[in-house]
């Protein structure tokens, strides 16, 4: 780890509980100007808060969409929060996760359909080759 960062983390550990909250509020205010940094910090915080369940909501949401793709991501996110006993504060994050999961499943299905179409066209072309290969060279198929 960077020596400066280790020094900051040591100083943070020596702060009182109220000073730590003030420090975190200051960090949050700083992150509000940089949306990308805020998302990354939120992701790190979420993993720290729920270490065992970081992937659990995503897997649960995926299984729910596999059963019924007509469900709305917002509905599934609220279900997930209720079922897995996740704080309601996390629901906006779960909605985004549900949107990503649903989109990923749609893309998987499109890829599968594309592969099945390719395989069926290859099989039909093989069958047509078999039928034409049985003919003599000068004969026509009429």
pLDDT score for 75: 96
What are the residue ranges in the chain where pLDDT is below 50?
Answer: none
Same domain flag for 63 and 35 = no
In a domain, 27, yes or no: yes
How many domains is the chain partitioned into structurally?
Answer: 2
Give the pLDDT confidence score for residue 78 in this predicted structure.
95
What is residue 136's predicted lDDT score, i.e. its pLDDT?
52
Residue 11 confidence (pLDDT): 85
Please tell me whether residues 112 and 62 are part of one structural domain: yes
pLDDT for res 135? 55
Q: Among 62, 91, 90, which residue's Cα sits nearest to residue 77?
A: 91
DSSP assignment string, 58-108: HHHHHHHHHH-TTS-HHHHHHHHHHHTT--GGGHHHHHHHHHHHHHHHHHH
What range does the domain containing 30 cover? Answer: 7-49
């Amino acid at each position: 780890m960077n020596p400066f960062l280790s020094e900051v983390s040591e100083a943070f550990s020596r702060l009182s509980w109220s000073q730590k909250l003030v420090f975190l509020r200051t960090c949050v205010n700083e992150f509000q100007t940089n949306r990308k940094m805020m998302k990354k910090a939120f992701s790190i915080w979420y993993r720290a808060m729920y270490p065992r369940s970081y992937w659990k909501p995503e897997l649960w949401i995926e299984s729910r969409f596999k059963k019924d793709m007509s469900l709305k991501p917002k509905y599934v996110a609220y279900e997930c929060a209720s079922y897995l006993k996740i704080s309601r504060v996390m629901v906006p994050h779960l909605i985004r996760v549900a949107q990503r999961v649903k989109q990923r499943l749609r893309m998987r299905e499109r890829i599968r359909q594309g592969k099945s179409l390719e395989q069926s066209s290859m099989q039909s072309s093989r069958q047509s080759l078999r039928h034409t290969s049985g003919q003599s060279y000068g004969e026509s198929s009429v």
